[in-house]
Amino acid sequence: MTVHHFAAIDLGATSGRVILATIAEDSIKMDEIHRFPDPIIQMQGHFYWDFPAIYQSVITGLAKIAERGVTIEAIGIDTWGVDFVTFGKDGTMLRLPYCYRDPHTVGAPEKFFERMSRKELYDKTGIQIMNFNSVFQLDTLRRNSCSALEAAEKILFIPDALAYLLTGEMVTEYTIASTAQMINPRTKQWDLDILSMLDLKPENFGRMTMSGEQIGCLTAEVQQLTGLGAVPVVAVASHDTGSAVAAVPAEDENFAYLSSGTWSLMGVESPEPIISDESFAMNFTNEGGIEGTIRVLKNICGMWLLERCREEWPEMDYQSLIAEAEAAEPFRSFINPDAACFANPASMTKAITEYCKATSQPVPESIGQFTRCIFDSLALRYRQVVEMLRDLSPVDIQRLYVIGGGARNQILNQFTANAIGIPVETGSSESTAIGNVMMQAKWAGVVASISDMRAMIRHSLGDSQHYTPAESEVWAEAYEKYLAVYKDM
């Protein structure tokens, strides 16, 4: 029996992991070797990623793999999108990278639109307008005469920066670059007009690399630090959602996906970008996927809402929260999960309270009512987005696959099935890491295509759940109530 081992470095917005994957007999086994926080430092009025700490945690995780005496065939890296690290002419990091939640880009899109219209930017890139997109971060740094940007020889997105520290090779992986709102999705190359507005050129970034290509091998220094050999580092779908979507266990093309975690990313897989007046009005994004596909999707503020509320309820464990939500009165109050007031409030419960007051709804008073408000609102927001996708996309959406951590949220998944009126199936809660590993496996010749990857993933899934829609009339009435209080506050 041939056995293959791969390492996945999987970084989320709150924590990171180094995972050892074993593929044998068409099955995938994932072993979490090292979990660590992705620290955010508040300093001098800004929020930064503690990038050296993240790098050190990655090294620690790889060293733990070496201690097991396992020979790995490759390493892949995936992270959140848009954020980047600047490097000087001597190849050293110039400063800590800003976190996308830093407030310095508040109002930044409007500043940019004084020189290029919102519609033109969207037509060029097909990317959803969000104030933290890389284009607005870079434009803000340019306007503020950022010394690190002025001195930068190279700008590398977070997974590319980690790959550089591991291999010494500077690349720009396509799926992560596509989140920046500076790539033409038709040509899959930089838009020169946008770069020019930022006083940048393609040479300011690493060489463009597609998922499935080898970046390089571990440097002598990293080999010494970890105890590993000259292991290849492979460009996977470096944007975590790209890796997650690669792991959707679908048998055909008639599906939508919901990558559910801190953010909810809901969309369809398309062979071509969908850029139109309608997609612009609905603010849909076209991000790069594996094998040339486009992920047509919308970013939705997901479990961030509950995560922030839980900071105010330290005595409540998750199962107790679920029980409280199930016992609470349904459809008592709703919020727009994507309203600006929920982006990063000092108090999430206060922000929800103020939203309900402003829309003349009952204010949640108990933990169960707050939690039920969030779950009801997310499920109905998902219906809203599915209906938009049906208007935009040629895909005949017959089922929704929930992947990521949200695959374990049984109450929200049932609510979602009820709201959208089609079956909901779950993929793995480890979808991001599995997609990372499967692209390495494709590079190594273990599988040959997306369909092969998904067949192996289906074969490996032992905990897939199926949710059948119920109470359709009740949820249809709730949807009308939700739309009546849907505000972008």
Query: Which residues carry out catalysis?
Result: 240
Q: Is 88 helix (H, G, I), strand (E, B) or coil?
A: coil
Q: Using alpha carbons, select from 422, 431, 429, 328 the residue that is nearest to residue 382.
A: 422
Query: Token pair for residue 423?
Result: 């079956």
User: CA distances (Å), 74 to each of 17, 139, 244, in order?
Assistant: 16, 36, 19
Please say whether the beta carbons of 330 and 374 come within 8 A.
Answer: no
Of 7, 3, 27, nearest to 17 by C-alpha is 7
Collapsed DSSP state (helix, strand, coil) of residue 230: coil
CB proximity list for 151: less than 8 A, separation 6 or greater: 86, 88, 94
Instruction: Let me know the angle formed at the C-alpha of 263 by 259 and 269, rounded to the nearest 5 degrees.
Output: 35
Tell me the H-state helices in 204-310.
Answer: 220-226, 240-246, 277-282, 304-310
Count CA atoms within 13 Å of residue 211 on its CB side: 33
Instruction: Quote the radius of gyration of the chain (alpha carbons, Å).
Output: 22
Q: Could you tell me which residues come within 8 angstroms of residue 169 by beta carbon, excluding any fewer than 6 positions away?
A: 163, 206, 215, 216, 233
Q: Starting at the edge strand that comes first in sequence, how are the strands of the sheet with 15-24 ordered? A: 27-37, 15-24, 3-11, 75-78, 232-234, 214-217
Looking from the CA of 403 toward its CB, the CA atoms found within 13 Å total 32
Is 322 within 8 Å of 315 (Cβ atoms)? no
CA dist 49 and 65 (Å) reads 25
